[in-house]
Amino acid sequence: MDTIHILQEGLHHPQGVAFDREGCLWCAEQAGGSLFCRSSAGQTTRIYTGGQPNSVAYFEGQLWFSDCASNRIYRMHIQTKAIETMLTEVAGSPLSAPGNLIIDKHGTLLFTCPGPADGDQAGWVAARRLNGHIEILTDGLAHPVGLAFVSEYLLIAEMHRQQIWAGFWDTQDLSWETIRVWAAVAETETASPLSGPGGMAVSPDGNVYVAMYGLGLIRVFSAEGRLRHDIPLPGKNPTSCAFDPSNRLGLVITEAEHGQLLTLKV
């Protein structure tokens, strides 16, 4: 039986989870306009950024974060806390509520632009190389949210259609190819338009853990997209999840209904 533990309470709509090289846990507080940090010793810090920070990703001493109010993506140097604007538009089009971030092993940043959660604006996903070159990978999606790498494949969670797409990720050409529906994650007839697959995390054994926003659970799939089981949560709005690289905490989940960080040993 899966046992959920509360690691932190009192957060303001937490979203996104990332660990830095020192083992500190970071997340965005969308309703608090802050980045929240919890050290491996349990000490906590908030860095006020303003706006509505939406997701975080760590790479080589820097924390990248999106903001769905300012429609920008920023980078913060963790040591100095200096923040700089990195992205405001792609191909002349402004970012639209930029969401989840993920960085591959070559330092390429991938990010979703789902648009407003309650609107019918089509969303898209783009990639940015370290040298600043940007490509749109795919568009026309109904609120794309979560991103994850499974082997050589990139997964994209499409919340409003209750499905996850998979395609071969070519970091050299910044292309997403041989695209297919990897998994249907909820019944579209019964699911709310504002619920469905959000952030995703891949376990060391290759299973994919999907935060099911509005449904109060983590849905676990095999690397091939087969449903394994569900993990019920104490709140209905999990937004993201990530595995602690040290395995000290196991799976960490951001839960927005109660403003909590949850942990689960798997």
Pairing relationship of beta strands 208-213 and 260-264 according to DSSP bridges: unpaired
Domain positions in the chain: 4-264
Q: Nearest to residue 50, comparing CAs of 23, 75, 70, 64?
A: 70
Of the chain, the end-to-end C-alpha distance in Å amounts to 10
Q: 4-264, superfamily in CATH?
A: TolB, C-terminal domain (2.120.10.30)
Q: What is the pLDDT of residues 150-189, one digit of tens each?
A: 999 999 999 999 999 999 999 999 999 999 999 999 765 4
Task: Identify the weakest region by mean pLDDT among 8-17, 112-121, 212-221.
Answer: 112-121
What's the whole-model pTM score? 0.95
pLDDT of 244 reads 97
Which residues pair with residue 29 across a beta bridge?
Answer: 14, 34
Q: What is the pLDDT of residues 9-45, one digit of tens each?
A: 999 999 999 999 999 999 999 999 999 999 999 999 9
